[in-house]
Chains A and B, each alone.
Chain A
Amino acid sequence: MTSNDAVLIQKSKQGDVHSFELLISKYQVYAYNIAWRMLGNEEDAKDATQETLIKVFKGLDKFKENSEFSTWLYTITVNTCRDQLRKRKKVMTLSVDDTEEKVSIQLVAEESADPAVRLEQKEVAGQLLSALGKIPEFQKTAVLLRDVYGFSYEEIGAIENCSVGTVKSRISRGRHGLRSIILNERSNKIQEGGTI
């Protein structure tokens, strides 16, 4: 943690809003983006980020000075989003069955049959977002943090409260799943095209 952060944290603990705003200025965009990718829409992302930052402000006393402030902030971000997703799921299971989820898991499990089939940049760029929405949540978060926002394995481990080994396996399974989904999407399209 930078010494500058330490000073700002000290002041924020005393209720200095301005110092707190300075403190989070570097991190809030990332927090918002993580929330956006995890929750999938701007409105929820905004609410979750606000909630996160308020929680951080209220909970500063609980923050341990020897740990990294940014990591702590992102941990709260991820957990807040996860709470949101859990609530959403509850509402979902009341109304709809989770067929969509089953389908996506199936897709991930399926090995892409033909090894000669390769990804094409155009389709990756176009389908990355929807593919991200189809891999399991923990893998998705790990891939987001590592490949989209450039966090280190150690940081992700601290955020997710798990070992580096777990982080690495989530990332590789996540990437693997993304590739399979995008490839599957293509073969589906080809099949549809064939029947017409």
Chain B
Amino acid sequence: MLNTCSIDHLHDYLERENYEMEPRALAEVEAHLEQCSDCRSYLEDLTLLKGELAAMPLKALPDGFEEELHARLVEEANVKLVSKSSRISNFTHSTSFKVLSGIAAVLIIAIVVVGTAGNPLRNLLSKAKSEEASIDMAMGGAPAPAEMPAASMDRDGTVVFEESMNNAKGFGETQSAPVEPGAAPGSSDVFDPSLFGKMIIRNGSVSLEVEEFDTAYTQIEEIVKALEGYIESADTYSTPIYDNNGRRGDLQGGTVSLRIPSTRFDAAMQQIKTLGTVTHSNISSYDVTENYVDTQSRIKNLEARELRLRELLQRAEVIEDIMEIDLQLANVRTEIDSLNAIIKSYDKSLQMSSIQVSLNEKPLSESTITTLDDNLFDRMRANFIRSINAVVQMFQTILVGLVAILPFLLIFGAVLYLVLRFVRKFLRNRKQSL
């Protein structure tokens, strides 16, 4: 059958809905299919096969896939900053002795394996630590800006909030948030954003490279305090790095979410930018005036409607009417509540701008890596590498030397041999003659 028939055309025919066939080719195939039952059944098989292939289910990502990827991506994002060229450059110079470089390569592999084997574990540990430390305060906020729970950080990047979370409860509401300078302090529900003309929500993000994470964090705390804002959440992590000697240190980094009174937003952005080298900064503003006014007027309309329904309810006598009005009243109330919630969240965003600050330590220069336990291992490794370099070099020198004097050795050996033979012969002759 298939020797005389064109299989390729049948595959084209199979795909004709996705890829239009040339009219003539199409006509030919169709004419052939008319008279060739083999091709018809082959095509049916293909159709069945294609259908079954298309029906093969997609497999969902395995559990924990995204979490694992996230951790690795965060690590990559930080490693990106650190130069990777610093690993054991001494070994890579070319040598003509393949055997020796082979030995060296094996040793390098051994060293690198030993060196890196510790890392995933350590990363995992520090990751776990920083996760513990990321206390999300978004739900709470601060009781009052002046009573912010003081956060301090220890060497591992663990955030220690000195005040208990219970104390921080129940703030972040519009009432307790700092108010515009014009409004009377204490009576913050006077605040009406629509009084300020255009209503613009402004948020910002700044990425900084800083000398020392802890210092920068403390400075941010001070800025936030001075501007009567609060820290919403803080998330820290640390990344191991290598320098030219193969030593390891940890780079600390973190993301801090701040809330700053919107009137002081610019000041906050400016001050934060002075804390380090700005690698990225962004300000977004959303004009919500229209939405805000619109939402407010919808609330007013609904409230008017609610009032009318109540009046109707009082006058209603038939039970069906009462039930119907009740139902409508409930619906109106639900809608009013949800619109009020929207207004409330607008209010919060209008009063308090949010700023995301990411802090990353600059890759440290040699002298500043001082953590002892890390360094002991790293120094040992560096010295080990150095000794091996020395041994390799010694072998190289000896071999080079040997090869270089080989011709002389050969000649010297030959001469020595001849001399010795001559001497022996001479002695034997003398013995015989005696």
On A, residues with C-beta under 8 Å from B are 14-17, 20-21, 28-30, 32-33, 36, 42, 46, 49-50, 53-54, 57-58, 111, 115-116, 118-119, 121, 124-125, 128, 143, 147-148, 150, 152-153, 168-169, 171-172, 175-176, 178-179
A129 nearest CB across to chain B (Å) = 8
A115 to B61, CA, bound (A): 41
B80 surroundings in chain A (CB, below 8 A) = 15, 58
| Cross-chain contact B60 with A54 (CB below 8 angstroms) | no
Q: With a CB–CB cut-off of 8 A, which chain A residues contact B74?
A: 17
B62 CB contact (under 8 Å) in A14, A15, A46, A171:
A46
Q: Say yes or no: A121-B54 contact (C-beta < 8 A), given A21-B73, A54-B76, A169-B8.
A: no
Stretch at the interface among B42-50, B97-105, B298-306, B399-407: B42-50
On whether A54 and B56 interact (CB within 8 A), knowing A14-B280, A28-B61, A168-B11, the answer reads no
Closest chain A CB from B123 CB (angstroms): 14
Is the pair B49, A54 in contact by a Cβ cutoff of 8 Å?
no
Determine the distance from Cα of A179 to Cα of B47 in the docked complex, in whole angstroms: 11
Provide the residues of chain A in CB contact with B290, threshold 8 Å: none
Chain B residues in 8 Å Cβ range of A152 = 18
Instruction: Say yes or no: is B59 at the interface (Cβ < 8 Å to chain A).
Output: yes
Q: How far is the CA of A115 from the CA of B58 in the complex (A)?
A: 33
14 interchain pairs (CB within 8 A)? A29-B60, A32-B59, A54-B69, A115-B2, A118-B44, A124-B52, A128-B49, A128-B56, A147-B49, A147-B50, A147-B54, A168-B12, A175-B46, A179-B49
Q: Is the CB–CB distance between A172 and B7 below 8 Å? A: yes
Instruction: Quote the shortest CB–CB distance from B175 to chain A (angstroms).
Output: 32
A143 interface neighbour in B1, B42, B44, B53, Cβ under 8 Å = B53
B residues with CB within 8 A of A: 1-2, 7-8, 11-12, 18-19, 38, 41-42, 44-46, 48-50, 52-54, 56, 58-62, 65-66, 68-70, 72-74, 76-77, 80, 280
With a CB–CB cut-off of 8 A, which chain A residues contact B56?
128, 148
Bound Cα distance from A33 to B65, whole angstroms: 13
Q: Are B1 and A15 in contact (CB under 8 A)?
A: no
Whether the Cβ atoms of B66 and A175 lie closer than 8 Å is no
Distance of A172 Cα from B9 Cα, bound (Å): 10
Complex CA gap A59/B68 in Å reads 19
Q: Please pick, from B7, B52, B73, B280, the residue contacting A128 in the complex, using a CB distance under 8 A.
A: B52
A152 and B18 CA atoms in complex are apart in Å by: 9
Q: A57: which B residues are within 8 A, CB to CB?
A: 73, 76-77
Contact pick for A176, options B7, B65, B73, CB 8 Å:
B7
Bound-state CA distance A168–B11 (Å) is 8
Q: Which residues from chain B contact A32 at a C-beta distance below 8 Å?
A: 59, 61-62, 65
Q: Which residue of A lies closest to B1 (CB)?
A: A115
In Å, the complex CA distance between A30 and B61 comes to: 9
- Which residues from chain A contact B7 at a C-beta distance below 8 Å? 172, 176
How distant is the Cα of A36 from the Cα of B62 in the complex, in angstroms?
11
- Beta-carbon contact of A21 and B49 below 8 Å: no
Q: How far is the CB of B23 from chain A (nearest CB, A)?
A: 19
Taking CB atoms, residues of chain B closer than 8 Å to A46 are: 62, 65
**Chain B's interface: helix, strand, loop or mixed, by majority?**
helix
Check A50 against B62 for contact (C-beta < 8 Å): no
- Point out the residues of chain A lying under 8 angstroms from B68, CB to CB: 50
Contact between B11 and A111, CB atoms less than 8 A apart: no
- Residue among B38, B59, B60, B73 making CB contact with A115, cutoff 8 Å: B38
- Evaluate contact between A15 and B45: CB separation under 8 angstroms: no
Q: Which residues of B contact A168 (CB under 8 A)?
A: 8, 11-12
A153 near B19 with CB under 8 A, answer: yes
> Within the assembled complex, what's the spacing in Å between the Cα atoms of A21 and B77?
12
Query: Known contacts A15-B80, A54-B73; is A172 also within 8 Å of B11 by CB?
Result: yes
Known A50-B68, A58-B76, A115-B41; contact A29-B61, beta-carbon cutoff 8 A: yes
A20, closest chain B residue (CB): B73
Pairs of residues from A and B, 9 with the lowest C-beta to C-beta distance, nearest first: A147-B53, A172-B11, A15-B77, A115-B38, A119-B45, A115-B1, A17-B73, A124-B52, A148-B53
Interface centre among B19, B49, B60 (most CB of A within 10 A): B49
- Set of chain A residues within 8 Å of B1, measured between Cβ atoms: 115
A47 and B318 CA atoms in complex are apart in Å by 70
Given A124-B49, A175-B49, check contact A17 B77 (CB 8 Å).
yes
Residue of B nearest to A164 (CB): B19
The answer to whether B49 and A29 have CB atoms under 8 Å apart is no
CA–CA, A142 and B425, complex, Å: 85
Residues of A within 8 A of B76 (CB): 54, 57-58
Provide the residues of chain B in CB contact with A115, threshold 8 Å.
Answer: 1-2, 38, 41-42
Beta-carbon contact of B44 and A125 below 8 Å: no
Q: Which chain B residues border A50 with CB–CB below 8 Å? A: 65, 68-69, 72
**Complex CA distance for A46 and B58, rounded to whole angstroms:** 14
Q: How far is the CA of A116 from the CA of B1 in the complex (A)?
A: 10
Contact of B50 among A29, A49, A175 (CB under 8 A): A175
Cα A58 to Cα B69 in complex, Å, equals 13
Are A119's CB and B73's CB within 8 A? no
**Distance (Å) between the CB of B369 and the closest chain A CB?**
23
Known contacts A32-B61, A115-B41, A128-B53; is-contact A21 B8 (Cβ 8 Å): no
In the complex the two chains form, is B73's CB within 8 Å of A111's CB?
Answer: no
Residue of B nearest to A126 (CB): B52
Check if B54 sits within 8 Å of A148, measured CB to CB: yes
Q: Who on chain A is nearest to B282 by CB? A: A11
Across-interface contacts of A125 in B (CB, < 8 A): 52
A21 touching B70, Cβ below 8 Å: yes
Q: Provided the pairs A29-B58, A32-B59, A147-B54 are in contact, do residues A121 and B48 lie with their beta carbons within 8 angstroms?
A: yes
